[in-house]
Amino acid sequence: MSTQPITKKAIAYVTNKDELMVFTHTDFPEAGVQVPAGTVEESEEPSEAVLREIYEESGIKGVRIIELLGIYQYNMTPYRNEIQERYVYHLELTQPTPSTWRHWEMHPSTNKNPIAFDFYWVKLDSSNLGLAGGQGYFLSKLVHKIKNSGDSANT
Which pLDDT tens digit goes with each residue over 45-104? 999 999 999 999 999 999 999 999 999 999 998 888 999 999 999 999 999 999 999 999
Percentage of the chain surpassing pLDDT 70? Answer: 91
Res 14: pLDDT: 98
What's the mean per-residue pLDDT of the chain? 90
Task: With a cut of 70, say whether residue 40 has pLDDT above it.
Answer: yes
Cα 3 to Cα 62: distance, rounded to the nearest angstrom: 39
What is the rounded average pLDDT of the residues 20-45? 95
What is the rounded average pLDDT of the residues 37-48? 96
What is the rounded average pLDDT of the residues 122-143? 90
Higher pLDDT, 22 or 114: 22
Residues whose CB is less than 8 angstroms from the CB of residue 86 and which lie 6 or more positions away in sequence, other chains included: 9, 10, 11, 37, 71, 72, 73, 74, 134, 137
CA count, 13 A, side-chain hemisphere, 43:
1
38 pairs with which residues across the strands? 10
Is 71 within 8 Å of 15 (Cβ atoms)? no
- Among 56, 82, 85, 92, the active-site one is 56
Task: With a cut of 50, say whether residue 155 has pLDDT above it.
Answer: no
Task: With a cut of 60, say whether residue 1 has pLDDT above it.
Answer: no
Task: With a cut of 70, say whether residue 151 has pLDDT above it.
Answer: no
Is 71 within 8 Å of 86 (Cβ atoms)? yes
Res 4: pLDDT: 86
Q: Is 56 a catalytic residue?
A: yes
- Which whole-number Å values give the CA distances from 129 to 21, 40, 57, 70, 142, in the listed order? 11, 25, 20, 18, 12
What pTM, to 2 d.p., does this model score?
Answer: 0.90
What is the rounded average pLDDT of the residues 126-145? 90
Strands 6-16 and 83-93: what pairing?
parallel
Q: What is the largest CA-CA distance in the chain?
A: 52
88 pairs with which residues across the strands? 11, 70
